[in-house]
Amino acid sequence: MYPYRKIAIAVSSAAIIAAGAVSANDSELTIFDWAGYEDPGFFQSYIDEHGEAPTFAYFGDEEEAFQKLRSGFAADAAHPCSQSVPKWIEAGLLEPIDTARIDRWDDLNPGFRDIEAYKKDGESYFIPIDWGNTAVIYNTELLTEEDVASLQSFADPKNMGRISIGDNVDDAYALAFLAIGVTDWTKATDEEFQAASAFLRKVHPNVRAYWSDGSSLAQLMQSGEVYLAWAWNETFSTMSGEGHPIGIKRDTAEGASSWVCGYTKLAGGDGSDDKFYDFINAWLEPQSAEYIVTAWGYGHSNDAAMGDIPAETLATVGLESSETLRENTLWQAPVPFELREKMIAEFELIKAGF
pLDDT digits (tens, 9 = 90+) for 6-41: 333 333 434 333 435 666 677 899 999 988 899 999
pTM: 0.84
User: Same fold for the domain at 3-131+259-316 and the one at 132-258+321-351?
Assistant: yes
Closest CA to 212 of 7, 352, 1, 15: 15
Report the DSSP beta bridge partners of residue 248.
137
CATH 3.90.1150.10 is held by the domain 3-131+259-316: no
- Asked if the model's pLDDT at residue 187 lies above 90, the reply is yes
Closest CA to 185 of 322, 308, 335, 292: 335
Contacting residues for 248 by C-beta, under 8 A, at least 6 apart: 135, 136, 137, 138, 233, 236, 318
- Asked if the model's pLDDT at residue 142 lies above 80, the reply is yes
DSSP assignments along 94-120, one per residue: EE---GGG-TTGGGB-HHHHT-GGGEE
Residue 217 · residue 164 · CB < 8 Å: yes
User: Helix-strand-coil percent breakdown of the chain, rounded to 5?
Assistant: 50, 20, 30
Q: How far is CA 327 from CA 24, 60, 137, 331, in A?
A: 44, 31, 20, 10
Residue 342 · residue 260 · CB < 8 Å: no
Handedness of CA 310, 315, 318, 319 (dihedral sign): positive
- Asked if the model's pLDDT at residue 260 lies above 70, the reply is yes
pLDDT digits (tens, 9 = 90+) for 87-107: 999 999 999 999 999 999 999
Residue 203 · residue 163 · CB < 8 Å: yes
pLDDT digits (tens, 9 = 90+) for 50-67: 999 999 999 888 888 999
132-258+321-351 falls under which CATH superfamily? Answer: Periplasmic binding protein-like II (3.40.190.10)
Flag the least confident range among 209-213, 242-246, 283-287, 346-350.
209-213
- Sketch the domain layout of the chain as residue ranges: 3-131+259-316, 132-258+321-351
